[in-house]
């Protein structure tokens, strides 16, 4: 009170200015801190295809791995990788990029974070020969990425005593990828948080250890949603426990709207199917980046596969056309672009198609009804179309040449093999090689390794890996060799 009546003195003036100054600095600091720690900005791409390959689904918000840690892990823990870098797990790197296809980046709370997006499972690689350069093809099933291997790599890292803040921070300092503040945050907080998260995930996904090893190009689609809903996996009925299947191609989505989607045809809504898959990229209902995923969805509506790049015998292919029309078109569509056909996109009962039933059985009625609660907070997006079916859906065959190995579990290496009865299909072969075999139409499956990289030996006798079914009179396996050859030639035009 006394100060009020006192005349201002020079020292008082000074004090006041100092106070104002301090306040201003504080305000600026606060603004900076708020801006930094509330930041939420994905790396964006002008081109639709790049957005598909590298754009964010929002998954980094809750599941993101700090970019610096992502970069440091293969350097620090090469002992848990089959070869050098994540390339050795089949991740595809385009020239000049530090992140592989299928990994997106977003700055969340001031730290660049990365996580998987759709492209990790839906971009593949093709080479004409062992010396050819790889062509990365968007929308085709990933034929090289070993996601289970990646998951196991992260689990091994989380358990390793060298996965410490100090070690990681030292590597980050060397890389110069993060500033001092982030480095210290990662050192004292980030690594511990990530370890907890990874160990929780590891615990939740132990059920996968009882399945046959997935290998490249495959994953279990419908047991993870049970984990998402915290079902007791140890109590799961035995019949549900193996759900491993091939990644599908995802072109021409506009024409697929209303079809029975997923291998077992359990959903007829493209949007729901996409949001369901987005859980796999870490995007939860509150964290899904809606505009971004909408852009990807729109891009996929009319995305098309590249034409078969090798010579086609036109005359032979013309001979195959009527055979296709007679045997295949009713279930698989008139051509690679015209999907009309009485049974296209519909489920064929398991007893009729006779393929391995594990994937079908892994999707349960109990899961189906519980999925009705996903996105409950967002009524327009809530899942309403999941159904339990009793078979596998008939797929259109666009880009068929790129979808090897065949059947839902990828148990038949080439189209030529698929036209043989199960007894004459290879009982074991190798997956993960991206060199193409135009003679049999499929990827080369008889080579065990290349340049020190071992390919994945696929054993069709393991549960879930059966290569039976889709055979018999109605499935073309009893055609004459000439007719098979003609049909094979025609299928190259898809």
Region binding other proteins by CB under 8 A among candidate stretches 22-30, 166-174, 335-343, 377-385: 377-385
Residue choice 390, 423, 446, 461 for contact with other proteins (CB under 8 A): 390
Nearer to other proteins, 353 or 419 (CB): 353
Region binding other proteins by CB under 8 A among candidate stretches 256-264, 295-303, 382-390, 465-473: 382-390
The residues, any chain, with a CB within 8 Å of residue 486's CB and separated by 6 or more, are 316, 317, 319, 320, 323
Nearest to 407 by CA among 444, 333, 457, 460: 460
Residue choice 15, 304, 369, 454 for contact with other proteins (CB under 8 A): 369
Tell the smallest beta-carbon distance from residue 377 to other proteins (Å): 3
| Helices and strands in the chain, H and E counts | 20, 16
Tell the smallest beta-carbon distance from residue 378 to other proteins (Å): 8
Q: How many residues bind other proteins (CB under 8 A)?
A: 33
Q: Can you name the residues that pair with 124 across neighbouring β-strands?
A: 137
Q: Which residues, numbered 43-72, are part of the site for other proteins (CB under 8 A)? A: 62
Give yes or no for residue 232 binding other proteins (CB under 8 A): yes
Give yes or no for residue 388 binding other proteins (CB under 8 A): yes
Give yes or no for residue 284 binding other proteins (CB under 8 A): yes
Nearer to other proteins, 5 or 235 (CB): 235
Give yes or no for residue 368 binding other proteins (CB under 8 A): yes
The rounded distance, in Å, linking the Cα atoms of 437 and 235 is 44
Nearer to other proteins, 153 or 375 (CB): 375
Which tokens belong to 7? 């005349």
Tell the smallest beta-carbon distance from residue 375 to other proteins (Å): 8
Give yes or no for residue 365 binding other proteins (CB under 8 A): yes
Give yes or no for residue 236 binding other proteins (CB under 8 A): yes
Q: Can you name the residues that pair with 219 across neighbouring β-strands?
A: 245
Q: Where do we find the tokens 């106070």?
A: 19
Give yes or no for residue 376 binding other proteins (CB under 8 A): yes
The answer to whether 403 and 282 have CB atoms below 8 angstroms apart is no
- C-alpha Rg value of the chain to the nearest Å: 26
The rounded distance, in Å, linking the Cα atoms of 303 and 411 is 27
Tell the smallest beta-carbon distance from residue 47 to other proteins (Å): 31
Give yes or no for residue 340 binding other proteins (CB under 8 A): no
- Dump strand ranges (E) for 167-235: 218-220
Give yes or no for residue 226 binding other proteins (CB under 8 A): yes
Tell the smallest beta-carbon distance from residue 379 to other proteins (Å): 9
Q: Go through 386-395 and write b for each residue having 16 or more CB atoms within 10 A of its CB, e for each that does not.
A: bbebebbbbb
Give yes or no for residue 235 binding other proteins (CB under 8 A): yes
The answer to whether 486 and 316 have CB atoms below 8 angstroms apart is yes
Give yes or no for residue 380 binding other proteins (CB under 8 A): no
Residue choice 8, 132, 372, 472 for contact with other proteins (CB under 8 A): 372
The residues, any chain, with a CB within 8 Å of residue 408's CB and separated by 6 or more, are 245, 246, 263, 355, 356, 359, 392
109: left (phi over 0), alpha (psi -120 to 50) or beta: left
User: Residue 42 is inside which H or E element, if any?
Assistant: strand 40-42
Which tokens belong to 261? 């989607």
Give yes or no for residue 206 binding other proteins (CB under 8 A): no
Residue choice 205, 383, 401, 429 for contact with other proteins (CB under 8 A): 383
End-to-end Cα, the chain, rounded Å: 89
Give the chain's length: 494
The rounded distance, in Å, linking the Cα atoms of 473 and 208 is 36
Region binding other proteins by CB under 8 A among candidate stretches 86-94, 314-322, 340-348, 358-366: 358-366
Tell the smallest beta-carbon distance from residue 487 to other proteins (Å): 32
Give yes or no for residue 237 binding other proteins (CB under 8 A): yes
- Which residues of this protein are in contact with other proteins, per CB under 8 A? 62, 226, 229-233, 235-237, 284-286, 350, 364-370, 372-373, 376-377, 382-388, 390
């Amino acid at each position: 009170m006394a100060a009020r009546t006192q005349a201002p003195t020079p020292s008082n003036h000074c004090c006041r200015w100092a106070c104002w100054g301090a306040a201003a600095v504080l305000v600026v600091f606060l603004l900076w801190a708020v801006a930094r720690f509330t930041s939420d900005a994905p790396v964006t791409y002008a081109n639709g295809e790049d957005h598909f390959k590298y754009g964010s689904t929002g998954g980094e918000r809750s599941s993101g791995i700090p970019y610096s840690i992502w970069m440091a892990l293969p350097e620090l823990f090469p002992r848990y990788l089959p070869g050098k870098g994540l390339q050795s797990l089949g991740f595809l790197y385009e020239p000049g990029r530090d992140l592989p296809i299928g990994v997106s980046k977003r700055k969340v709370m001031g730290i660049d974070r990365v996580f998987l997006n759709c492209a990790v499972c839906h971009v593949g690689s093709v080479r004409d020969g062992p010396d050819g350069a790889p062509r990365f093809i968007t929308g085709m099933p990933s034929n090289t990425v070993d996601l289970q291997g990646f998951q196991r790599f992260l689990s091994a890292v989380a358990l390793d005593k060298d996965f410490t803040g100090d070690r990681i921070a030292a590597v980050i300092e060397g890389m110069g990828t993060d500033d001092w503040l982030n480095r210290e945050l990662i050192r004292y907080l980030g690594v511990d948080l990530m370890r907890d998260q990874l160990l929780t995930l590891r615990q939740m996904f132990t059920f996968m250890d009882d399945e046959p090893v997935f290998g490249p190009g495959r994953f279990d689609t419908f047991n993870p949603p049970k984990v998402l809903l915290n079902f007791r996996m140890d109590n799961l009925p035995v019949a549900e426990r193996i759900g491993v299947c091939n990644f599908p191609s995802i072109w021409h989505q506009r024409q697929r709207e209303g079809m029975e989607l997923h291998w077992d045809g359990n959903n007829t809504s493209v949007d729901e199917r996409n949001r369901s898959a987005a859980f796999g990229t870490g995007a939860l209902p509150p964290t899904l980046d809606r505009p971004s995923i909408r852009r990807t969805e729109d891009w996929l509506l009319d995305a098309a596969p590249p034409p078969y790049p090798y010579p086609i015998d036109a005359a032979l292919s013309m001979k195959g056309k009527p055979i296709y029309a007679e045997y295949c078109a009713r279930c698989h569509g008139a051509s690679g672009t015209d999907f009309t056909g009485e049974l296209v996109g519909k489920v064929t009962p398991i007893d009729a198609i006779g393929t391995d039933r594990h994937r079908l059985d892994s999707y349960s009625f109990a899961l189906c009804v519980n999925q009705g609660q996903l996105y409950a907070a967002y009524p327009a997006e809530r899942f309403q179309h999941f159904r339990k079916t009793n078979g596998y859906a008939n797929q259109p065959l666009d880009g068929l040449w790129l979808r090897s190995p065949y059947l839902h579990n990828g148990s038949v290496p080439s189209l030529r093999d698929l036209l043989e009865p199960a007894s004459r299909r290879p009982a074991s072969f190798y997956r993960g090689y991206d060199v193409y075999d135009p003679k049999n139409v499929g990827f080369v499956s008889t080579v065990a390794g290349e340049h020190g990289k071992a390919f994945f030996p696929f054993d069709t006798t393991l549960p879930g890996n059966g290569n039976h079914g889709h055979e018999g009179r109605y499935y073309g396996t009893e055609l004459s060799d000439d007719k098979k050859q003609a049909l094979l030639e025609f299928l190259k035009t898809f």
